[in-house]
Amino acid sequence: MKRGCLIVALGTPASPNPEDIRTFLRSFLSDPAVVDMPRWLWKPILNQIVLRVRPKKIAPTYQSIWTSEGSPLLIHTRAQAHHLAAQLEGVKVGFATTYTQPSIAAAIDELDVDELVIIPLYPQYAPSTVADIWRQVDIIESQPGSPRIIRAQAWYGNSRYISWYARKVRDYVKSASTSIDKLVLSYHGVPQRKVHQPQLYQAQCEATTASIIAALNDHGIDIAWETTYQSKFGPGKWLQPATIERMAELPGEGVHNILVLTPGFFASCIETLDEILVLNREAFVNAGGKDFHLISPPDSDPEAGKILADIYRQSRED
């Protein structure tokens, strides 16, 4: 039997230019799981307002995070697939994106295997990130000759992933020249509407936080902490507290030195490189904060391959 593993990230524009950003946003924001407004209402807003205004507005931000090798998200996802392959002897490994290239269908076709484990690169489950992966997989499974597909479940409590963060925090705390007043764990938010399953998602985020804090305690690290949510988009109530609002409040509460984690992201992207490192840092410093440090996601760390290999093996056993 030919076995394979496919890791799937959300996707990224092909370039930081407005035209490619527009193409990416059109695909991403057309997904009902991402924007759950009635189609008759949302499509005119998307096509006549969002896609006309936002690509040009956000292009400088993408340009600021872009590297000579391309999109940070794509670079790190490719590296993660490489490190995963090194851990899975005899298993063909590939990567895909939900809304851009390489597509899930193309990646599965290229792997050409009999059994395939698919791992969404999101530790916590939310319809806005994972649902369209499984929708595309359902279509592929219905076709003759498709491989046996095993869907990896949410891995918010994966012990290797938790240990990776705990070690990073421990090492930073021990080497920092100033003491850390608070550890802030920021997750991507979701709207507080039933279709987005906010209670399930929040429970998983909080479980990840609790596991990291417990692992830190095992390392002898006792530190104040809180969980926040970022990246609000559009109207309506989202999970609280909002990361950027807390950044403006923390210095007034006597918190001047903070360490930030983003355990809902497996690779650095615009939400971590700009939203956290630029916008949230500015909010914190402008409010009187002094030291702001972010521990990046696993990115291209070879340990990412070990984490994913652990998820692969567990998925095949379940």
- Between CA 226 and CA 183 the distance in angstroms is 7
Q: What are phi and psi of 286, to 5 degrees?
A: -65, -25
* DSSP track, 153-168: PP-TT-HHHHHHHHHH
3-state secondary structure of 129: helix
Residue where the block lists tokens 């399930």: 200
* DSSP track, 249-270: HGGGGT--EEEEE-TT-SS--H
- Between CA 120 and CA 107 the distance in angstroms is 14
Separation in Å, CA 69 to CA 84, 93, 180, 209, 316: 21, 22, 34, 33, 34
Instruction: Name the β-bridge partners of 183.
Output: 225, 259
Q: At what angle do helices 104-111 and 132-141 cross, to 10 degrees?
A: 50
- Residue 11: other Cβ atoms inside 10 A: 21
Is 188 annotated in some ligand binding site? Answer: yes
Q: What are phi and psi of 9, to 5 degrees?
A: -105, 170
Q: What are phi and psi of 200, to 5 degrees?
A: -65, -45
Is 271 annotated in some ligand binding site? Answer: yes
The answer to whether 173 touches 180, Cβ cutoff 8 Å, is yes
Separation in Å, CA 31 to CA 61, 151, 182, 276: 23, 20, 37, 25
- Between CA 31 and CA 33 the distance in angstroms is 5
What residue numbers does the annotated binding site cover? 188, 271
What residue numbers does the annotated binding site for Fe(2+) cover? 188, 271
